[in-house]
Each structure stands twice: as structure tokens, then as C-alpha cells.
A and B are shown apart, each in its own frame.
Chain A
Amino acid sequence: MNRSRLFLGAIALIVVVILINSTFFIVNQAEQVLVLRFGQVKQTVTAPGLHVKAPFIDDVVRYDARLLAVDPPPEEVILGDQKRIVVDTYTRYRISNPLQFYQAVRNEDGAAARLREVVNNAVRKVLGNVMLPSVLSPERESIMHDIQQQVSEASKPLGITVADVRIRRADLPPETSQAIFRRMQSERQREAAEARAQGQEKAQEIRARAERERTVILAEAQRQSEILRGEGDALSTKTFADAYSQDPGFFAFYRSLQAYKQALSGADTTYLLSPDTDFFRFFAKAPSPTGGN
């Protein structure tokens, strides 16, 4: 008797637990829930907490209530100026209408697939009308805004709110990057050559100026020098003239004697002298017999 009573008790306990389990359900803070009865949406629960449903016949479908991510792979897009760039976008959205979401895409995978498509279209459409310089300018903000606007509009029927669509990267394709690198290189080479040439230019200028300055300084000195020498010469000439003009006859005599003394008094001079000269006037007088003959 005991055995069967306990057995029945255990069965009852299990049944109660199963009943509780299928009647109550928890909605988490980060969730929202659709209650389905035989596949028919009966109720949308967005408030977190403990909730009740009909056991066994009602099903719950849970959706995330948080900000969700779709990161499509990078794509090559042709811009309005026929330049190609690789655009990598990211999208953040929330499931705002679980019922619509359930009907349109069922689950997040379905939503992600649809969103990728929508984003791709919007990116191509918007970027197809802009030039590369606009992407690389403050206009980028409004471009992204346009894309977001279009994605928002197109994804409304999916029961989602697009929080943001942004360009994560907008890069040039690899082959274009190589061209850019070459251009950067040549630009730097030009800059380097210019810097060096400017250095040369400046150096030449400095040197030339310095040399000019030196020449001018020396010439100035020469000029002053000649003036000074001329003054000296003039003064001495005048002094001589003043003195000598007092007796030109005596000057000639006196100066000649001085010149003889200076010019002829060396030991290496040999004189062939005639005793007839005035200097030997008395010298020649004594041996007069020769002269007398």
C-alpha cells in the first residue's frame, strides 16, 4: 500500500512540475516574447518578468530586445566619379515589432539576410551618386545619414528599427592602393628634392652675399688706402717744393751731391779717373813735370 501511495505521490509531483513549467514563463530583461497558440500569434510580451500562458497549447517565441548587429562583408562599390572603393558597413538594429518580425523574417538569420540586401542596395544607390572627395570630407556624415535613412525606410516592414548604418571602412581596392602608394612616393620625392634644392639655393645666396661683402670690404679698404697714400705723397711733395724753391740752384747742387753719395759710394765701384779733373786740381800740381812736357 505504502509503495503504491508513494509511487502515486511521485507521479503527482512530476505532473505538477510539468504543469508549472508549461504554464509559467519568464521573460528576461533583454527579451521580448511572442505567445503562439497553434502557430497563431496570440500575444506580444515585452515586459520582463513572470508570465502565464495556457499550458501545452501555447508556445513562446523569444526575441532579443537588445541592439543587434549585422556586419555584412566588405563590398566593392563604384562611385559617381567611376572610382571604385571597398566599403565595409555595419548595421545596428532592434526588433521593435516582434509580431511583424515573426511574420516577415521569422528569426534573426532571416533578418540579417534581408538587411544585408537592403544595406547593399542603399550603399550602392547613395554612393553611386557621390564623388570620392565627398566620402573623404565632412559630407561623409550626411552620406551615412542618407544610407541609414534608406535602410530604415526599406526595413520598416521587417518589424525592426535601424539604429544606425555606418561606413566602417571606405578603402581603395588593393590595386588602386598600389597606385596611391606610388603617388605618395613621388610626392615625397618631389618634396625632398625641393627641400634639397632650396637648401642649395639658400646656401648659394649666402655664399654669394658673403663673397660680395668681402670684395666690397676689401675694395673700400683699398680706396681708403690709396686716398691716404695720395695724401701722404701730396704733403711730402709740397713740403719738398716749399723748401727747395727757396734756392733752386743750390737745391740742384746739393741734391746732386746727395745722389752721388747715395749712388756711387759703394766699394764695388771702380773709377777711372783723370788727374785733370777739378777734384785733382791740387793733386796734379805736384807731379807737374809730366804735364810740363
Chain B
Amino acid sequence: MSWKEPGSGGGPWGGGQGPWGRGSGGSGPPNLDDLLRKGGERFRRFMPGGGFGGSQIVSLVILILLVLWGIGGFYTVAQDEVGVVLRFGAFDRITPPGLHYHLPSPIETVRYPPVTRINRTEIGFRSPLGEGMRSPTGAELGNENLMLTGDENIVDINFSVFWQIKDPEQYLFDIRDPEGTVKVVAESAMREVIGQLPIVAPLSEQRTAIAQRTRDRMQQLLDAYRAGITVVQVQLLKADPPAEVIDAFNDVQRAKADQERTGNEAEAYRNGIIPVARGDAERIVQEAEAYKEQTVDLAQGDAQRFLSVLAAYKAAPDVTERRLYIDTMEEVLKNAQKVMIDPNARGVIPYLPLPELAKGRPLPAPSASSASPSAPPIVSVAPSVTGAGK
């Protein structure tokens, strides 16, 4: 075990062949085993050619190999990375992006953590990997999206954590599986925060505050773990009631809309009837005003007329009285139909073709009596006459 380990680059963090070492391992110097094998091959190839100068050739070959080995120490650090140089496995220095040189492997090795890259960890959902691919459902993710709230309700939450390498040394050497740790820490922190709030909190505008609290909590924990990670942002993408009860929640929203609507309808009704009532009231009052003025005016007119006539009458009472009577009778009798009957002509049976009776209007009697109260027999005669006429 110990025999193989140091030189072969076999350990996970040993030579350049680790999960991070894409530079020195590939194009870099061959390891010791390769060197030995290749050296042997060349050695044998030159043997039959010439008996002399063998040691010179060997020296030359060794020199070339050494140069090749030395060239393997050049490495480039990409723009979004830093180079972390290890000397015999111990942290030595950090180099910025660009072309650099390190002592060839296995003396020094380099690792390239992507420090400017913003990583994203998804919880409660997974982005589809490609076009037309389906995202897994919550149940397929082990219900990691369903969280228990402080009032013992369940809420369906999807969120993303954006994080970045803060300290490459810690990130590489102080924590194994940093990404997995970010995920469990995120879940734990979010559940801790959600578990202390009522369900309305994540469903309302408190979402930003929840995301912020989760971020702070995560940062606190990751710092305690010396993970070398900074949490840039926690983004609460979805916070809904679970699918099983979402209808009920939506119905609450509808009910609230209904509540508002019925209120508005009632207001509309009120706004419809009150002005009409005011208008009606105004009309009633105005009508009464009109009536009052009319009545008073008419009364005053009539009274004034009476007074005028009275004044004239007083000047010559007898004549005026007579004249008024005759004028009136004249007017009354001018247009009316008249039948003159002499009460002294007893032998005659009066024949009365009364048009009123024909029209079914038995009205002559009162007018007769008012006009001449001294003629009662005619009234009693009239019906029989009508019957005879028919």
C-alpha cells in the first residue's frame, strides 16, 4: 500500500489525476513508471546499432526526458478560476488567471477551483436538463418541496441557492462534498425558518424576508463548517399550498372577491336609489309649493273679484241684484235644452222625447227642480213618458 501511493498519483488528492487536475496530469510529465518503461525501450532500441557511445546516448535520453518533465510545469489558469499550488500535497500559493510555472509533478501540483462562477443548487425542483425534458415531480424528489409550517400546515416550496467559492483553500481542503453540504444546509435552514412561521407568511409578501433569513442562516452554518462558501442569494421561486389543498386556497381568494363584489353591488344599489329618492322628494316639495302658491293666488283673485262686485253692488243693490240674476239665468239657459210646461194646461199629456233618457242619463229632474222648484209633477211624469216614446 505505502509502496504504491506516493509516486503513482493514485490517491484522490495525490498527483495531477485527481478530480480537479486537468492541467498537469494530461500534458504534464509522465509519472515514474512511464519514465522507467520508456527509458528501457529506448535503451534496447539503440543496443544493436552500435557498441560504442551507449552511455552518451543514455545521457542524452535522460536529458531529453528531464527537459520534457520540466516543461510539464507550465500551466494556465482560466479567467474564472484561481490556481492553487500544492507542494508535496501541502498548500503553497494561490496564482491568478494567466500562464504560470510550477515545479513539475510530483513536486508541485495545481488545482483550479472556479472562484468567480456562481453555482446554483435547486431544492424542491430540478430544472429540466434539456429541451422537451420533464422536470421531476415533488414526490420523485422525496417530497423535499413540502415543508411543515409553524401552525402545523404544509407548504410547497421551491427555491434556488446561488453560491460562490469565497475561500478556495477552505473550499478545497476543509470540506468534502461542498455541494452536497450546501444542499442539506439550505434545506435545513429553510425548514427551520418556515417551521417558525405561520403558513400565511410564505404565501404573502414575507417571502423576501424568508429568503433573506434563510440566506443568513446558511451563511452562518457554512462559515461554522469552514466551507469557504459564500451564499450570494436565496431565491424563493414558489411558495404555494400543496397541490392537494390548492383548490381550497383558491376558493378563499374567490370568496374574498365575492365578498367585495357583493359589497360593491350593494353600494351600486344604494347609489342607484338614493339620488332617485332625493329627486322624488324634491319633486314632491316643489309640487306642494306650486299648489300653495296656486291656491293662494286663486283665492286672492276670487276674493278680489268678489270685493269688486260687492263694491259695485253696494252702489245700487236692487238693480245689481236683479241684473246679476238675469245675467246668470241667461247664461245658464242659453245653451241648455229647454221644455216649457204650463202647469195650468192640465188636459194635455206632455210628450217628452228626452235625449238624456235615450242616452241612459236620468238627469233632468234635479236641474228642473233647481231651475224651477215649483214644478214637481213633471219629474214624476217623465219615466212613463219615456216608456211611451219607445
Contacts and interface: CB of A to CB of B under 8 A. Distances in A.
Given A53-B2, A67-B227, A247-B314, 12 more contacts: A49-B89, A169-B188, A171-B147, A191-B255, A192-B255, A229-B292, A243-B306, A264-B371, A270-B338, A271-B337, A273-B375, A277-B372
Contacts of A196: 255, 258-259, 262
Given A67-B226, A236-B295, A213 B371 contact: no
5 contacts: A6-B54, A221-B280, A235-B295, A274-B374, A279-B333
Contacts of A227: 288
A99 interface: no
Given A243-B303, A274-B375, A266 B336 contact: yes
A71 interface: yes
Contacts of B54: 2, 6
Interface string B241-267: 110110011011011101111110111
B152 interface: yes
B199 to A, nearest CB: 8
B102 interface: no
A200 interface: yes
Contacts of A233: 295
A204 interface: yes
A10 B40 contact: yes
Interface string B62-90: 00000000000000000000000011111
Interface string A219-237: 0111011111101110111
B6 A229 contact: no
Interface stretch (A109-117, A118-126, A132-140): A132-140
A264 B332 contact: yes
B104 interface: no
B69 to A, nearest CB: 14
Contacts of B354: 270
Nearest to B250: A188
B259 A290 contact: no
Interface string A1-43: 0110010001001100110111011111111000000000000
B88 A62 contact: no
Contact of B11 (A62, A90, A265): A62
Interface of A: 2-3, 6, 10, 13-14, 17-18, 20-22, 24-31, 47-50, 53, 56, 58-60, 62, 64-69, 71, 90, 92, 132-133, 135-138, 140-141, 163-164, 166-172, 177-178, 180-181, 184-185, 188-189, 191-196, 198-200, 202-207, 209-211, 213-214, 217-218, 220-222, 224-229, 231-233, 235-237, 239-240, 242-244, 246-247, 250-251, 253-254, 257-258, 260-261, 264-277, 279, 290-291
A269 B363 contact: yes
B335 interface: yes
B360 interface: no
Contacts of B343: 274, 276
Q: Is the contact region of chain A dominated by helix, strand, or loop, or is it mixed?
A: helix
B45 interface: no
B300 interface: yes
Nearest to A171: B148
Interface residues of B, number: 149
Given A71-B184, A199-B262, A220-B281, A265 B331 contact: yes
Contact of B302 (A64, A67, A240): A240
A69 B177 contact: yes
B285 interface: yes
A251 B331 contact: no
Interface string B173-205: 111110011001101100110011001000000
Interface stretch (B21-29, B130-138, B231-239, B322-330): B322-330
Contacts of B150: 136-137
A149 to B, nearest CB: 15
Contacts of B260: 199
Nearest to B43: A6
B273 interface: yes
A141 B192 contact: yes
A172 B143 CA distance: 11
Contacts of A276: 343, 372, 374
A181 B372 contact: no
Contacts of A273: 338-341, 368, 371-372, 375
Interface string B271-294: 001101110111011011101111
A182 B47 CA distance: 89
B307 A246 contact: yes
Contacts of B61: none
Nearest to A279: B329
Contacts of B355: 270
Given A10-B43, A232-B295, A276-B374, A25 B284 contact: no
